[in-house]
Amino acid sequence: MAPAPAPIPTPETREFWEGTARRELRIQRCTACGKHYFHPRPFCPDPTCASDAVEWTVVSGRARLSSYVINHRPLPMFEVTEPQIIAIVTLDEGPRMMTNLIGVDPDPELLVLNMPLEVDFVTRGEQWLPMFHPAVEEARR
């Protein structure tokens, strides 16, 4: 079987992927209005700002579960045959990102909206993908 496809950095995403290789979650922040945002782009996405004064910052890696779907279809191209949790998480810094949840069974009883999460990094090819798992305080319940 061919190796699972890995993301290919672009000039706009290179800093993000360089951060994941160091196990850092980096997103952009507008220095004009102070808002963090994700997906990478060269200007602030807030239409009342739209400044090009942006910088990359390392963020906490903490988030809350906003939404999810449990995919039961095998994904042979990703070498995944078990159900996986595809999620939208809201980072403590504000932006939302799509990711996978790991370290928790794909059971709706265990996937409580707004549950605290922490980032982890999983290899795919030469890239490290940010994925989230229940925060330590949540796992103790």
Q: Domain extents for the chain?
A: 9-59, 60-141
> Under CATH, which number does the domain 60-141 receive?
2.40.50.840
pLDDT tens per residue, range 24-67: 999 999 999 999 999 999 999 999 999 999 999 999 999 999 99
Q: What angle do CA 112, 118, 120 make, to 5 degrees?
A: 125
pLDDT grade, residue 136 (50/70/90)? confident
Using the predicted structure, report yes or no on whether residue 3 has a pLDDT greater than 70: no
H or E element at residue 86: strand 84-91
pLDDT at 141: 42
How much is the CA Rg of the chain, to the nearest whole Å?
A: 16
Residue among 68, 59, 84, 64 at smallest CA distance from 137: 64
pLDDT value at position 2?
55
15 band by pLDDT with thresholds 50, 70 and 90:
very high
DSSP letter assigned to residue 128: E
Q: Model-level pTM? A: 0.88
pLDDT tens-place string over residues 62-105: 999 999 999 988 777 666 678 889 999 999 999 999 999 999 99
Residue 113 DSSP code: T
Query: Residue 67 and residue 86: Cα distance in Å, rounded?
Result: 9
The β-bridge partners of 64 are: 90, 116
- CA–CA separation, 118 and 131 (whole Å): 8
Sheet holding 54-58, edge to edge: 36-37, 26-30, 54-58
3 state SS of 33: coil
